[in-house]
């Protein structure tokens, strides 16, 4: 029913576009997530799949909350690190999802000493490939690499543990 009636519904599409123009970009991702979730439904497990778990475990939840707080509370500082690294782009022209990905990556560099730099870059490249435009991963990689080099020169990377630099 979803694939045949709801997803291709032009009225729904127009309604969502009227409510928020950028929703159009998210529509395929949301449709895919809904189709996957509906594909896993059966009478036995229907109630458990209606609202999937956001987190694998409590540690995962705590990490997500800490990252969210760090990004929100340090947004101006994180924006300042991005400025100047994008000479051909005003921040207004950078896709919102790319800015969010960059801020999250920078926050991990600065505030999560146990997460290796390479792991942060690799994770956010994967996020950009999954949720942003086709060339975003190249853009995100370039900016994060520039920022890491700058942080290393300024001694701002305080990674602890073996092999974390």
Q: What is the CA 91 to chain-centroid distance, rounded? A: 17
- So what's the pLDDT on residue 47? 62
SS3 133: coil
- So what's the pLDDT on residue 144? 96
Domain 58-154: which CATH number of 1.10.940.10, 3.30.1600.10, 1.10.1240.10, 3.30.2180.10 = 1.10.940.10
Domain extents in the chain:
2-49, 58-154
- So what's the pLDDT on residue 163? 52
The tens place of each residue's pLDDT in the chain, 165 residues long, gives 777 777 777 787 777 777 766 666 777 777 777 777 777 776 666 665 566 678 889 999 999 999 999 999 999 999 999 988 887 766 677 889 999 999 999 999 999 999 999 999 999 999 999 888 888 999 999 999 999 999 999 999 888 765 555
- So what's the pLDDT on residue 23? 67
Instruction: Compute the distance between CA of residue 104 and CA of residue 81 in angstroms, rounded to an integer.
Output: 12
Contact predicate 103/79, CB 8 Å: yes
CA torsion angle 111 112 115 119 (round to 10) = -40
Spatial neighbors of 26 by CB under 8 A, at least 6 apart, are none
SS3 72: helix
Instruction: Compute the distance between CA of residue 77 and CA of residue 87 in angstroms, rounded to an integer.
Output: 18
Query: Which pTM was predicted?
Result: 0.69
- So what's the pLDDT on residue 50? 61
CA torsion angle 10 12 15 19 (round to 10) = -130
């Amino acid at each position: 029913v979803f694939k045949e009636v709801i997803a291709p519904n032009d009225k729904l599409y127009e309604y969502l576009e009227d409510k928020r123009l950028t929703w159009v970009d998210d529509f395929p991702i949301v449709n895919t997530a809904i189709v996957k979730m509906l594909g896993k439904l059966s009478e036995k497990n229907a109630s458990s799949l209606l609202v999937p778990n956001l987190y694998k475990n409590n540690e995962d939840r705590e990490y997500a909350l800490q990252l969210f707080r760090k990004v929100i509370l340090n947004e101006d500082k994180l924006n300042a690190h991005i400025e100047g690294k994008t000479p051909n782009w005003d921040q207004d022209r950078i896709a919102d999802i790319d800015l969010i990905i960059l801020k999250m990556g920078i926050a991990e560099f600065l505030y999560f000493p146990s997460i290796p730099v390479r792991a942060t870059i690799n994770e956010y490249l994967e996020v950009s490939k999954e949720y942003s435009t086709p060339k975003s991963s190249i853009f995100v990689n370039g900016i994060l690499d520039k920022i890491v080099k700058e942080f290393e020169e300024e001694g701002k990377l305080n990674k602890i543990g073996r092999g974390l630099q």
